[in-house]
């Protein structure tokens, strides 16, 4: 899946690309630019999501309510 994301990223980011790009998960700026703004995923969020997808990250503990 990561390889496919990288291929799509390379296809969408041509050398003359002038639009901005932000991470759709954390809103970190991935590439400065003008409008329109495109969305992608930063390396940190991609790792976290892949770890969660593969089951290597346990879900957050649930809070007990009384």
pTM of the model as a whole: 0.55
Task: Determine, yes or no, domain membership for 12.
Answer: no
pLDDT in tens, 48-59: 999 988 887 555
Q: Is the residue at 28 inside a domain? A: yes
42 Cβ neighbours under 8 A, 6+ residues apart: 23, 25, 26, 28, 30
Domain that holds residue 50: 18-56
| Tens digit of each residue's pLDDT (9 = 90 or more) over 2-46 | 544 554 554 455 556 678 999 999 999 999 988 888 999 999 999
pLDDT for the residue numbered 21:
92
Is 24 inside any structural domain?
Answer: yes
* Per-residue pLDDT at 7: 46
* 44 in a structural domain: yes
Residue 36 maps to a domain: yes
């Amino acid at each position: 899946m990561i390889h496919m994301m990288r291929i799509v990223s390379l296809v969408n980011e041509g050398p003359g690309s002038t639009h901005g790009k932000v991470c759709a998960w954390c809103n970190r700026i991935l590439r400065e630019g003008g409008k329109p703004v495109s969305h992608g995923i930063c390396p940190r969020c991609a790792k976290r999501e892949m770890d969660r997808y593969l089951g290597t990250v346990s879900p957050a503990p649930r809070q007990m309510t009384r």
